[in-house]
Amino acid sequence: MSAPLLELAGVHAGYGPFKAVVDVDLTVPAGGAVALLGPNGAGKTTVARVVSGLVRPTAGTVAFDGEVISGLPAHEIARRGVAHAPEGRSVFATLSVEENLALPLRQAHGTARAAELTDQAYAMFPRLGERRAQLAGSLSGGEQRQLSLARVLVDPPRLLVVDELSLGLAPVIIGEVYQRLAEIRRLGTALLLVEQYVEHALGIAESIVVLRAGEVAYAGAPLPTDELSQLFLAAG
């Protein structure tokens, strides 16, 4: 088997004295899709933040592509090909929707390609097209989530960490975003899907990790939803 793209080993993390995540092991194979599941407050978002460098682990390591990345600044982790979306405040509030999309794309791909990719983003999220001249800070929460997702979906990273995709998005948009996730996965992007609502994530992930009170309660092949509910309920 090939080396994993992402490997967390014995990761502990928290906020001040509070331990949110305890001894977590998790791997995502290159091009694979793993769902990180668990009830409210189980530590899923904290794990996502540890991966993208927003929270520093207090113990354990995170390796990406065979190199330890825990301890590196978030922008360096992003440069290596890890994107985390939608992470709160990840849009530039004082720039327009168009600028939010086009500026980073231009830097990475030049003006012509950036314009094509921006159009793709509007095709995927028509609401953003209608609001292209509006300041991102004045968008609704759901629209900001669309903007933050659009940026990574049209310019896929090597590993995409998607945190609570379903939250605040209309069901029809959730379905479309999941279709696009399946597409970018076929193009080689690995996925770590953090979800409290499991249905969609289970449709795409080939393995799952269930967190319970910060610890791994299960890791392996997807479970039927009734067994998952049992695991969630056992969380108390």
Beta carbon of residue 19, minimum distance to ligand ATP (angstroms, whole number): 9
Q: Return the number of the residue (40 or 111) whose C-beta is nearest ligand ATP.
A: 40
Rule CB under 6 A: say whether 146 interacts with ligand ATP: no
Beta carbon of residue 54, minimum distance to ligand ATP (angstroms, whole number): 10
Rule CB under 6 A: say whether 84 interacts with ligand ATP: no
Beta carbon of residue 43, minimum distance to ligand ATP (angstroms, whole number): 4
One-letter amino acid for residue 45 of the chain? T
Q: Return the number of the residue (41 or 142) whose C-beta is nearest ligand ATP.
A: 41
Q: Return the number of the residue (38 or 86) whose C-beta is nearest ligand ATP.
A: 38
Q: Return the number of the residue (49 or 131) whose C-beta is nearest ligand ATP.
A: 49
d(CA 121, CA 147): 8
Q: Return the number of the residue (153 or 198) whose C-beta is nearest ligand ATP.
A: 198
# binding residues, ligand ATP (CB under 6 A): 12
Beta carbon of residue 115, minimum distance to ligand ATP (angstroms, whole number): 36
C-alpha neighbours within 13 Å on the C-beta side of residue 171: 2
d(CA 35, CA 76): 24
Beta carbon of residue 42, minimum distance to ligand ATP (angstroms, whole number): 4
Q: Say if CB 183 and CB 133 are below 8 A apart.
A: no
d(CA 48, CA 55): 9
Gyration radius of the chain over CA positions: 17
One-letter amino acid for residue 223 of the chain? L
Q: Say if CB 208 and CB 219 are below 8 A apart.
A: yes
Q: Return the number of the residue (143 or 195) whose C-beta is nearest ligand ATP.
A: 195
Q: State whether residue 230 is helix, strand or coil.
A: helix
- Among 150, 144, 147, 160, which Cα is nearest to 48's? 160
Q: Say if CB 219 and CB 206 are below 8 A apart.
A: no
Sites for ligand ATP among residues 161-200 (CB under 6 A): 196
Binding pattern for the stretch 15-54 against ligand ATP, x by CB under 6 A and - elsewhere? x--x-x-----------------x-xxxxxxx--------
* Binding piece for ligand ATP, criterion CB under 6 A, among 13-21, 67-75, 92-100, 135-143: 13-21
H helix or E strand, kind and range, residue 83: strand 82-85
Structure tokens at 224: 């039927």
Contact footprint for ligand ATP (CB under 6 A): 15, 18, 20, 38, 40-46, 196
